[in-house]
Amino acid sequence: MLYRTAGQFKTTYKADQALFPVRQDAVLLAVILALVWVIFPLVASEFTFQTLLIPILIYSLAALGLNLLTGYAGQLSLGTAAFMGVGAYACYKLVTLMPWLNPVVAILFSGVFSAGVGVAFGIPSLRIKGFYLAIATLAAQFFLVWLFEKWAWLYNYNASGAIQVPNLEMFGVYVAGPQASSIVQYYVVLAVVTLLTVVCINLTRGNLGRTWKATRDMDIAAELIGINLMRSKLTAFAISSYVVGVAGALFVFMWRGAAEPNLFDIPLSFRILFIAIIGGLGSIMGNYLGAILIVGLPVVLNTLPEMLGLPISPATVEHLNVMIVGALILFFLIIEPHGLARLWALIREKLIIWPFPH
């Protein structure tokens, strides 16, 4: 009943291929945007900003970058965290070498360096694919983390080997650093994530997105019909690494406040991969659903036993979190490989034809 489509007629191809073919989808998106832009900032506490809202947005953006490469272009990658590190360290060098630079511009520009590194490590995809390509990106992961540790210029020769985010102003308001408020950082992250999500939606719905899908489904057939595989794969690596690099800059500058090289180690890459798998490969919305689940699950497991008066130790809660995430990954890989995005699509289809079963 909520998704009744009676009276919604399509008289042109353009209307049939619209972003919101059903009017209720646009209404639902408007409600979500109103929640994240207006309602949540008014009611959220400091704890909610730092443990839920900001990390969900950042992890969603990182998973979105990985999904462009793996879900849409079919190129496996296990080096997402390293490319996030490139964006974070590039942003740190930009704001320290050019203190006058706008922080948001520095964050967006840091992705360019990550894109360049991504293309360099994406060149093997022209000759190898599948498991072998995943091993090549894993080599990039280890090499870049080693580089973050050994190249002292990257962290300005700091004795601790870590990068510390300085206080950064924009229009007289601190947006990063110890003096920045959580609500300001939230709005900066939300604006960047919204912008890149809109760009990625348009990319995946256009010629480039169709080229990626053809490369993913059968690269030999794609080449036979005239698709340039080198351009298709390298653009996927470039755009994916750019988005991931921007997510890495936000990760450090708008949330963590400081970072050591081991922050970008392999567990972070797997965490982002789990978000993409659970949310649904080849889906934009799935990245947000997966991030909500992966980020929100530990918070729920930490607060629910206390609310119910159950004496559970923090170590047990951590073990439960790992077990549940592992079980969810197995469930979605076996039962529903397209993840939470597909489950929502099924629910939406049922709502459209309700109360009829078929």
Q: Give pLDDT tens digits for 126-170.
A: 888 888 888 888 999 999 999 999 999 999 888 888 899 999 988
Greater pLDDT, 357 or 88: 88
* HSE, side-chain direction, 13 A CA sphere, residue 224: 4
Query: What CA–CA distance (Å, rounded) separates 141 from 131?
Result: 15
Least confident of 177-181, 192-196, 244-248, 328-332: 328-332
pLDDT at 1 over 70: no
| 27 — pLDDT class (breaks 50, 70, 90) | confident
pLDDT value for 347: 84
Average pLDDT (227-237) is 92
pLDDT at 2 over 80: no
pLDDT at 212 over 90: yes
Report angle CA 173, 115, 137 to the nearest 5 degrees: 125
- Could you say which architecture CATH assigns to the domain 21-353? Orthogonal Bundle (1.10)
Q: pLDDT of 315-357, one tens digit each?
A: 887 888 888 888 888 888 788 888 899 888 888 888 877 777 6
pTM of the model: 0.92
% of the chain with per-residue pLDDT over 70: 99
pLDDT value for 269: 94
Least confident of 50-54, 260-264, 305-309: 305-309
Which runs of E-coded beta strand occur in 153-303? 163-164, 168-170, 173-176, 258-259
Please identify which residue in the block is written with the tokens 């081991």.
262
% of the chain with per-residue pLDDT over 90: 51
Which runs of E-coded beta strand occur in 154-227? 163-164, 168-170, 173-176
pLDDT at 15 over 90: no
pLDDT at 192 over 70: yes
pLDDT value for 311: 77
Of the chain, the end-to-end C-alpha distance in Å amounts to 14
pLDDT value for 358: 64
Non-local (6+) Cβ contacts of 250 within 8 A are 57, 58, 61, 107, 188, 189, 192, 193
